[in-house]
Structure 1
Amino acid sequence: MVYTKFKALKGANSLRTFLAVAFEQNSWQKFHLSNKVLADLLPELPLLRVLSLSQLSISEVPEFISILKHLRYLNFSRTKITHLPDNVCDLYNLQTLIISGCESLEKLPESFTKLKNLRHFDMRDTPLLKKMPLGIGELKSLRTLSKIVIGGDNGFSITRLKDLKDLQGKISFQGLDKVQSRMQAQEVKLSHRRLSELEVEWSDVFDNSRKEVVEQEVLNAMKPHNENLKSLGIVSYGGTEFPSWVGDPSFHRLAKVTLKGCKKCTSLPLLGQLPLLKKLFIEGMDEVKVVGLEFLRTTGLAFPSLEILRFEDMKGWEAWSTNNNGVLVDTTFPCLQELDIKGCPNLVKVSVEALPSLRSLIISGCDHEVLRSLVCVASPVTKLEISCISGLNDQVWGGVIEYLWAVEEISIFECNEIRYLWESEAEASKVLVN
């Protein structure tokens, strides 16, 4: 029935755009084009400029693809394909190729250099794709290349990117532990490129092959242009400290920063001066014991625009303070709306000033002192979610709940020492109004 309906398109041999839309009516019934429809229909559309097979349940690229010589745009995103065949590289007019979200994709064709007109190549979220085509550095028309894997089976070098002078937009570098020197990293000249998003990632294996000094020099050499950057991610970096450009207020458009798995760093970078930073995610910084003024600034307004702050899996973290020898920083986190602290079992000392804009507080896998200290400065909270809080008993909870005069939603998981939420109806009525 479905196949018969598509027969009418066989006469539309001047069609320029074909967008196959996959959708599901419910979780157990999906609708998609069959391989038979694709194999029989698309060869009848030789003048196609735009072809999207995004989200279709296909596991291989149709064999006929190479006859669509006029294609400018080709989208295989979120399909089940395992490789791109060589005949894709016969599409010499292709300008945009999208394979993002292809979680089974393992291989790209070695003849990639034939795609001389390719401008945009999106290969984000392809976890099994571990190597780059060696000739990709020869595609001088490339403007966006979302993922770059250094090393891999073929030893792809970061220096092969030096001739891609028009790269811009979003870039994720993976395998930076394979970069051997600062000079190699400098050849990419990120400071000359107008990037909106940059992610730099090293191996998550910290063994004797890692060189802390080299990694510090490489990260320092990868300083991007400061005018356009809106998102920065640093993952599994092996240096002991961050270079000064991380947190430099000249990055005045930077809105999101992620620091993840940087296990050797003993302190956080000075991020409090970034004027438009709205989201900050910090995870797996095992050597950080104290978060204090080195994270903020000595005086004045700190984190003026931050709305979401998350700490996760900070195993060595012990203290968080905005005090300067007993004196609080003028203003800290004036716009913070959501604070999450998860998996920080050794954090017991928290001394921060009032959080006037906080609405959501989520604490998990922490000591009860963290909860007690934060609710004292976060009375406007409307949503509280806690789980696995050590030492949280009825007495401690009683001291917590009296500060939550604005709370509308409370979620409690695996806090087994609490026997009741309120001692009496009178106490409950202070919080549960209407």
Structure 2
Amino acid sequence: MLLLIWNEKPSLSDSPSDLLMHFHYNVNLLVFITTAAYFGVIRGLYKFYDQYYTTKAPMVDGNQVISFDRSFLVQDGNILEADDHVLESRNKLSDLEKLFGDENFRRCFGLLVYLFPIDYEFGKKDIIQLWMAEGFIQPSVETNELLEDAASVYFDVSSAASIFQSSRSDGNSRPRYRLNHSLLDQLFKLPSDLYCKIESGKPVSLSENTLHTSLICDSSDPVAFEALYQSKRLCTLLLVHEQRYSSINQVPYNLFFKLPLLRALDLSGMNITELPSSVGNLKHLRLLNLSKTLVKRLPESLCSLYLMQTMILRDCSKLVGLPKGMRKLVNLRHLDLDIASLLISMPPGIGDLTELQTLSAFIVGKDDGCHITELKHIANLRGNFGIRMLENISNSGEAKEAALDRKKYLERLELQWTELQGGVDEVQVLQHLQPHENLKELQIVSYGGTKFPGWIGNPVFSKLATITLHNCSKCEVLPSLGKLPLLKRLQISEMHAVKTIDTRFCGRDMVTPLLDLVLRTFGRHTNLCKGFPSLNNLRISGMPTLEKWSGMEEGNFSLLRKLSLSHFAKLTALPELSVLKALQELEISLCPVLQFLPKKSLPISLQSLLIISCPLLKERCHKEGHDWKKIAHIPSIWLDNQQIL
């Protein structure tokens, strides 16, 4: 989207027609904003669009807005059907209308403009959850649109219009954004008496009309909380810190009696060890943020807040449990905490929270209300999700009832056992834990079966890009993963029972004899039957019984750039690596009986070779060694931390 703003009469030297032609095919939306006085002039400068012109443009704070999408003009939200591109752009233009005219949209940005420091960095998810809590998001009833999706439209359209500007990524690679205040100032104004930002050393402008307040604090200020009591209609209370943590170590018990209409409460970063039980008085509360606090337990009174949508408990390192009555929070959509690190069991009846979308993990228990079957009706789980202590599943039917294959919004799934079980067929358990084909990342830890079910390498998982298999110590054969079309990163470790790697690893067993004959007959075998077409990073380690690796055929691993092999106690020879035409980095370590490199030279694409604790191989790779000719072309060679080239 390109915004062109004129607050004074444009001159011919501006060459706006030339500018428009330059951007005609490089931006999806062109938005022209000008004052009413010069609207006719702007219209005349772009008269070649008049055939699509309607009679009245919308007003935005005294400005009239013309919105173009490639070769047509939209005003007042009316879309003229010029061509197929116009039809495809209906949704975006509808969002544009909301951007400039919707009152709820303005309220959304009022919170961000008036309550946060001008250079504050926001996360998209945090913004969306705050907007939802305030009731500013109205999803489409006709399409059963989720609140989060409707809020995401607000954010994405705003970002496209440069209202949000990317600043950096946090430690988890999540983008952070700053507001473009100069642009917001031109687009709209808001009644500031509804908002109050309380800052140390500055006068407080709270009144009975104040609905939204933030405390910009880094030190304890006992007056600040008391000053809030006069604003009995307060809906928002946010503690915002210039630094990571605040020294405020107590929340007044009466605070929640004085402010009963709170919908959003952010106490993150406070040095508090408990949350007063009086929080149960906040019957309208939708969002509670206690992240980065020292809270150990949450009061049971919290479970009476039936309208709660979002609980954020990130980095609460002292937290040891959740209230037993969590199942009562039937409107809870986001439970954001590191469950696997902090909890040893789930509160019973978590399956009653059918609206849940954010849940980092589920810990399988043996008690009633803690079985994996609790996941059955939680169909909208999104993003990253893990299931721990899978050894507590009593039979494979429970795994099937969890219905992971119907959770289509999951992107990353971790399946973890903590100890081996003798009485349950773990192969069948894992078979019934098959996820939806939309999955992008899969991690399996400490699986105790002797083989993997076939779904793991099924090419129907066309979005699966990363797989990690760790400590599956009883598996005797690697799964056939070569036919996964988008698999880019594969890490396999501690597979102690694998003795052979062959063509099955590349998915050769998935090609039937009849299909093989047909493909070879028509000369298409190379294109359709080679393994790992997208893999660029392969790490294999901890296979002490591996004795033979074969089946590396021409065309396999065609995009592999990095190969790391480690801890092969019995492997004496490597597969033929010359077929890895894109390989740039090769690391070989802790292979004590590995005698020599493959017969042919290593790939000419190779830029770096690292060999560590492979004494027999090391002797052959010195400049005087028998394998030197195979590696002499490599720019960087390291042998046991000594650089040769």
Normalising by structure 2, what TM-score? 0.55
Name the CA distance, whole Å, in 1 between partners of 2:636 and 2:287.
49
Residue 479 of structure 2 corresponds to 269
Q: In the alignment, is the contact (CA less than 8 A) between 1:147 and 1:172 conserved in 2?
A: yes
Q: In the alignment, is the contact (CA less than 8 A) between 2:483 and 2:531 conserved in 1?
A: yes
Supply the RMSD in Å over aligned alpha carbons: 3.4
| SS of residue matched to 1:336 | coil
Name the CA distance, whole Å, in 1 between partners of 2:254 and 2:247.
11
Residue 218 of structure 1 corresponds to 429
Q: In the alignment, is the contact (CA less than 8 A) between 1:101 and 1:125 conserved in 2?
A: no
Gaps of 5+ in 1: 24-30, 414-419, 423-430
Name the CA distance, whole Å, in 2 between partners of 1:53 and 1:348.
60
| SS of residue matched to 1:113 | helix
Residue 469 (structure 2) pairs with residue 240 (structure 1): no
Q: Which moved further from structure 2: 138-147 or 250-259?
A: 138-147
Q: 1:291 aligns with which of 496, 501, 515?
A: 501
Q: 1:363 aligns with which of 585, 588, 606?
A: 588
> How far 1:349 moved relative to its partner?
2.2
What amino acid sits opposite 2:336 in the alignment? D
Residue 532 of structure 2 corresponds to 303
Q: In the alignment, is the contact (CA less than 8 A) between 1:380 and 1:407 conserved in 2?
A: no
Cα–Cα, structure 1 residues 377 and 15, in superposed 2: closer, same or farther, change >3 Å?
Answer: farther
Residue 216 (structure 2) pairs with residue 3 (structure 1): no
> How far 1:88 moved relative to its partner?
2.9
Residue by residue over 1:117-138, the C-alpha shift from the partner in whole angstroms, topping out at 9 and shown as x without a partner, is 1012233363241111112111
Residue 504 (structure 2) pairs with residue 279 (structure 1): no
> How far 1:178 moved relative to its partner?
1.4
Residue 565 of structure 2 corresponds to 341
Q: In the alignment, is the contact (CA less than 8 A) between 1:21 and 1:53 conserved in 2?
A: no
Cα–Cα, structure 1 residues 58 and 284, in superposed 2: closer, same or farther, change >3 Å?
Answer: farther
| SS of residue matched to 1:332 | coil
Residue 542 (structure 2) pairs with residue 313 (structure 1): yes
Q: In the alignment, is the contact (CA less than 8 A) between 2:569 and 2:593 conserved in 1?
A: no
Report which of the two structures shows the higher radius of gyration computed on alpha carbons: 2
Higher relative contact order (CA 8 A, sep 6+): 1
Cα–Cα, structure 1 residues 56 and 154, in superposed 2: closer, same or farther, change >3 Å?
Answer: farther
> How far 1:111 moved relative to its partner?
0.9
Name the CA distance, whole Å, in 2 between partners of 1:18 and 1:85.
20
Residue 93 of structure 1 corresponds to 307
Cα–Cα, structure 1 residues 315 and 64, in superposed 2: closer, same or farther, change >3 Å?
Answer: farther
> How far 1:80 moved relative to its partner?
4.5
Q: Which moved further from structure 2: 274-283 or 384-393?
A: 384-393
Residue 411 (structure 2) pairs with residue 201 (structure 1): no
Gaps of 5+ in 2: 1-199, 201-217, 509-524
> How far 1:161 moved relative to its partner?
2.7
| SS of residue matched to 1:340 | strand
After superposition, residues 285-434 of structure 1 pair within 5 angstroms as 285-298=495-508, 300-323=529-552, 328=553, 330-353=554-577, 354-367=579-592, 369=594, 372-373=597-598, 376-391=601-616, 393-398=618-623, 399=625, 403=631, 405-408=633-636, 410=638, 412-413=640-641, 422=644, 431=645
Name the CA distance, whole Å, in 1 between partners of 2:254 and 2:488.
48
Cα–Cα, structure 1 residues 123 and 319, in superposed 2: closer, same or farther, change >3 Å?
Answer: farther
> How far 1:346 moved relative to its partner?
2.5
Q: In the alignment, is the contact (CA less than 8 A) between 2:503 and 2:550 conserved in 1?
A: yes
What amino acid sits opposite 2:594 in the alignment? E
| SS of residue matched to 1:177 | helix
Residue 459 of structure 2 corresponds to 249
> How far 1:245 moved relative to its partner?
0.6
Q: In the alignment, is the contact (CA less than 8 A) between 1:130 and 1:152 conserved in 2?
A: no
Cα–Cα, structure 1 residues 410 and 18, in superposed 2: closer, same or farther, change >3 Å?
Answer: farther
Residue 27 of structure 1 corresponds to none
What amino acid sits opposite 1:276 in the alignment? L
Cα–Cα, structure 1 residues 61 and 231, in superposed 2: closer, same or farther, change >3 Å?
Answer: farther
Name the CA distance, whole Å, in 2 between partners of 1:374 and 1:336.
20
State the number of aligned residues.
400
Cα–Cα, structure 1 residues 100 and 408, in superposed 2: closer, same or farther, change >3 Å?
Answer: farther
| SS of residue matched to 2:325 | helix
Q: In the alignment, is the contact (CA less than 8 A) between 1:263 and 1:286 conserved in 2?
A: yes
Normalising by structure 1, what TM-score? 0.79
Name the CA distance, whole Å, in 2 between partners of 1:349 and 1:332.
19
Q: In the alignment, is the contact (CA less than 8 A) between 1:363 and 1:371 conserved in 2?
A: no
Give the percent of matched residue pairs that are identical in Structure 1 and Structure 2.
Answer: 35
Q: In the alignment, is the contact (CA less than 8 A) between 1:9 and 1:41 conserved in 2?
A: no
Cα–Cα, structure 1 residues 183 and 394, in superposed 2: closer, same or farther, change >3 Å?
Answer: closer
Q: In the alignment, is the contact (CA less than 8 A) between 2:571 and 2:593 conserved in 1?
A: no
Q: In the alignment, is the contact (CA less than 8 A) between 1:101 and 1:126 conserved in 2?
A: no
Cα–Cα, structure 1 residues 4 and 297, in superposed 2: closer, same or farther, change >3 Å?
Answer: closer
Q: In the alignment, is the contact (CA less than 8 A) between 1:382 and 1:406 conserved in 2?
A: yes
> How far 1:358 moved relative to its partner?
2.5
> How far 1:280 moved relative to its partner?
0.9
| SS of residue matched to 1:259 | strand
Residue 121 of structure 1 corresponds to 335
Cα–Cα, structure 1 residues 395 and 285, in superposed 2: closer, same or farther, change >3 Å?
Answer: closer
Cα–Cα, structure 1 residues 32 and 210, in superposed 2: closer, same or farther, change >3 Å?
Answer: same
